[in-house]
Structures are given as C-alpha cells and as structure tokens.
Amino acid sequence: MAAKMSKKISAASARSHTRKTKQKTSISLLSGMFGKIVAVFFVGFLAYAYRAIQPPPPKICGTPDGPPVTAPRIKLSDGRYLAYKEHGVSRDEAKHKIVFIHGYDSNRHDAVVATGLSPEVVESLGVYIVSIDRPGYGESDPNPKRTVKSLAFDVQELADQLGLGSKFYVIGFSMGGQAVWTLLKYIPHRLAGAALLAPVTNYWWPNFPANLSKEAFSHQLPQDRWNLRVAHYLPWLTCWWNTQKFFPACSAAAYNPGALSSQDLELMPTYRARTDLYAQVRQQGQHESLHRDLMIGFGTWEFDPMDLENPFPNKEGSVHLWQGDEDKLVPVTLQRYIAQRQPWIQYHEIPGAGHMFPVLDGMADKIVKSLLIGEKNVS
Ligand SMILES: *[C@@H]1O[C@H](CO)[C@@H](O)[C@H](O)[C@H]1NC(C)=O
C-alpha cells in the first residue's frame, strides 16, 4: 500500500514535474524568442543608425557622375585639384598680388573684396586678386583629410604654381578669415600682409577667458549652439545633425533672419543677387563643404591665434582685422579680446555693421587700401 501510494505520488509528482518543465520551457522559449527579436531589432537599429550618420560620397568634379570642370585648376602635390578665379589686372602687370579666401557656403565667384573693388583702385595700385574654391566647394576636390593646417599649404602651392612670388597678400572673409589665422601660423614668411574680415571665432580657443566665451556663446541662437556643440564634441554626427529634420540645424546655412543684424537683413538681397553662380557652391555635396567646415572651424585647433607671434616685427607688412559691432554670427566681444591680446593687429571695428559689411559700397576699397598702402582714415 505504502509502495502503491509512493508510486502514485511519484507518478503524480512526475506528471506535475513534467508540466512544470513544459511551462518553464515554453516561458524560456518565449523569452528566448523575445530576446532574439529585441537583439535583431537592436542590431537593425544600429545598422540603420550607422548608415544614417554616414555622409553620402561626394560627387567629384570631372568624374563621370560629377559636375563638369569649367574653372582653371592647379594640381596639388597630393593629387587634389584646386580651382581658382583671377580678378583685377593681369598677373604680369600686378604690383600687388592678393589671394582671397571665401567663407562658409560660398565659392571663388564670391570674392567680396575683388568684386567690390573700384576700377580706380585696381588700376592705380595694380591689384591682382586670385580667389580659390576651398576644398570641397565649387570645383575644388574635397579633402577628407583636411585639417586646420592643410589650407595654408594648399594656398602656398597655388601661389607657387601661379608664380605669385616669394610674398603675397591674403584676405579672408568669415570662415575664410578664420583660415587666414592658419596662414599667419604656418607660412608667415610667405605673406606680405593679411586682412581678416569678420573672421569666425572658435569658442574653444583656450586663451578666451571661460566667462567671456560662455557669455558670447549664450547669445547665439539655440539651434546654432547645438550645431556647434555637435561639430566640436561629436564631429562624426555633424552630417546627420545638419540633414535630419527633427531639430533645426545651422542658421547660417538656412539663412535664418534671426542670426542677422538689421544691416545684414538689408544687405542680404544684394548679397544673394550677386550669387547667380551659387549653384556651384554645394554641387559636390554638403558634407565635404559645409559640414567639414564646421568640424574644422569649431573643432579642437592645433594652435590658438592668441598665441601667434607678430609676423612683421619690423613693420614690413601689416595685419588687419575688420569686425562689425552688430555681427550676430561672430561675437564682437571675442574679436575685441583677440585684438587686445594681439596689439600688432590693426583692429577696425565698424559701428552699426553686421557680418556682411564687406559688400557695403566703398568698403572693398577701404579694406584693400589699408592693407596695401596703409591708408589711415578707414572705418
Ligand atoms: C570675466 O571675468 C573677468 C575677471 O574675473 C572680469 O573682469 C570680466 O568682466 C568677466 N567678463 C564677463 C563677460 O563676464
């Protein structure tokens, strides 16, 4: 009886054990499947996210899928082509040779100083200007290996191939003005003089007092602050950030009126009207032009312009910095600080001016004359 009972019990317990095992198995089977589904979704999401943040390849000028080459170009030592445009008197007649470097979202046609210069100044001073397409813009090949430094050597190679001589002048506007700092750093011995027009400041240059750059940064539009933070801290996300539709991206690219001073709003139609050749600006894609600019300009620099030495200790040339005091894109407070730290820079602050002041009537003449012949009575 006892044996029977125990058999029964064991049979029952065995059955219940089996049931439990079945339940457990189906639960673990379910959770196993759920886990797998989650894992598959997660991997899928990662793959999607990875693809989403990959910039599309550029459409390189002169390749079968790319835009045609229409500009004169030089071949650089690493095989890239650099496009340029010549203005003013011919190279042979020139008494003063200037290289012009354009800003963000622009190209060689938009050489604000060259296009605004009066024929009298061009003739009397024998001014020759060559404007370039910075790498990735217009018809210049992209430079995925671009650094803060590389543009200085691109410009030097251009000057040598065009035979501009041992020294030449350089003028840069906005992000092109920022690039002029790199020429002053790496090839100062090749420069006869330099003018920086509303050069873009980098909030992370270490010599800015933290409270000053913080205060200046806080005056930027919220979307610009986020865009610059992404470019500085997460440069690999820059392309996605600037092309996604969830958050507004960079106001300079979107021509957001909120980022323009009242004078800039007035000048904007003039500025845009001159840009019938603008279609070329981004024709090779936005990543190697616009996004690369942000990643370099607001990235971590190899040097700080406030540490530069005076390139002309014997006054054999001059460096000029021009800035509007109502510029909403480049904070005047930071520019003043740079000018104060670097007394060898001739600082011209233009009252009431925004970021676009180089297109004001007569401004190109002032800028060029002060650079070439040191004319006083400017601004
Ligand atoms: C930053 O701090 C310095 C020294 O403490 C002070 O003189 C200056 O006014 C401050 N600047 C700003 C913008 O707060």
Give the separation between CA 220 and CA 250, rounded to whole angstroms.
11
Ligand 1 atom closest to the Cα of residue 212 is 13
Closest C-alpha among 129, 126, 123, 116 to residue 87: 129
Contact 132, 168 (CB under 8 A): no
Q: What pLDDT is stored for residue 333 in this prediction?
A: 97
- Alpha carbon nearest to ligand 1 atom 2, residue: 211
- Alpha carbon nearest to ligand 1 atom 1, residue: 211
| Ligand 1 touching residue 219 (CB < 6 A) | no
Centre of ligand 1 to C-alpha 166, Å, is 43
Give the separation between CA 322 and CA 59, rounded to whole angstroms.
35
| Ligand 1 touching residue 210 (CB < 6 A) | no
Give tens-digit pLDDT for 262-274: 888 888 777 666 5
Centre of ligand 1 to C-alpha 231, Å, is 27
Point out the least confidently predicted range of 8-12, 218-222, 228-232: 8-12
| Ligand 1 touching residue 266 (CB < 6 A) | no
Point out the least confidently predicted range of 58-67, 80-89, 121-130, 163-172: 58-67
Centre of ligand 1 to C-alpha 212, Å, is 7
Give the separation between CA 270 and CA 251, rounded to whole angstroms.
19
| Ligand 1 touching residue 215 (CB < 6 A) | yes
Q: Where are the alpha helices (DSSP H) in the chain?
A: 2-53, 112-116, 119-125, 150-161, 175-186, 210-218, 222-233, 238-243, 251-254, 262-273, 292-297, 332-341, 363-373
**Does pLDDT of 279 surpass 90?**
no
Q: What pLDDT is stored for residue 12 in this prediction?
A: 46
Centre of ligand 1 to C-alpha 209, Å, is 8
| Ligand 1 touching residue 79 (CB < 6 A) | no
Q: What pLDDT is stored for residue 246 in this prediction?
A: 72
Centre of ligand 1 to C-alpha 352, Å, is 24
| Ligand 1 touching residue 211 (CB < 6 A) | yes
Contact 172, 196 (CB under 8 A): yes
Q: CA torsion 156→151→320→163, rounded to 10°?
A: 20
Centre of ligand 1 to C-alpha 180, Å, is 28
Q: What pLDDT is stored for residue 4 in this prediction?
A: 47
| Ligand 1 touching residue 209 (CB < 6 A) | yes
Give the separation between CA 137 and CA 107, rounded to whole angstroms.
6
- Alpha carbon nearest to ligand 1 atom 13, residue: 212
Edge-to-edge strand list for the sheet holding 81-88? 73-75, 81-88, 127-132, 96-101, 168-173, 191-197, 319-324, 345-350
Better pLDDT: 271 or 66: 66
pTM assigned to the model = 0.85
Ligand 1 test: best mutation among 203, 208, 211, most atoms within 8 Å of CB? Answer: 211
Point out the least confidently predicted range of 7-16, 304-313, 363-372: 7-16
Contact 81, 142 (CB under 8 A): no
| Ligand 1 touching residue 64 (CB < 6 A) | no
Contact 330, 174 (CB under 8 A): yes
Centre of ligand 1 to C-alpha 208, Å, is 11
Ligand 1 atom closest to the Cα of residue 215 is 13
Give tens-digit pLDDT for 286-297: 888 989 999 999
The CA distances from residue 45 to 26, 39, 51, 230, 337, in Å, are: 28, 10, 10, 21, 46
Ligand 1 test: best mutation among 208, 212, 219, most atoms within 8 Å of CB? Answer: 212
Better pLDDT: 300 or 266: 300
| Ligand 1 touching residue 212 (CB < 6 A) | yes
At 53, is the pLDDT very low, low, confident or very high (cuts 50, 70, 90)?
confident
Ligand 1 atom closest to the Cα of residue 209 is 1
Give tens-digit pLDDT for 106-116: 999 989 899 89
Better pLDDT: 41 or 30: 41
Ligand 1 atom closest to the Cα of residue 333 is 13
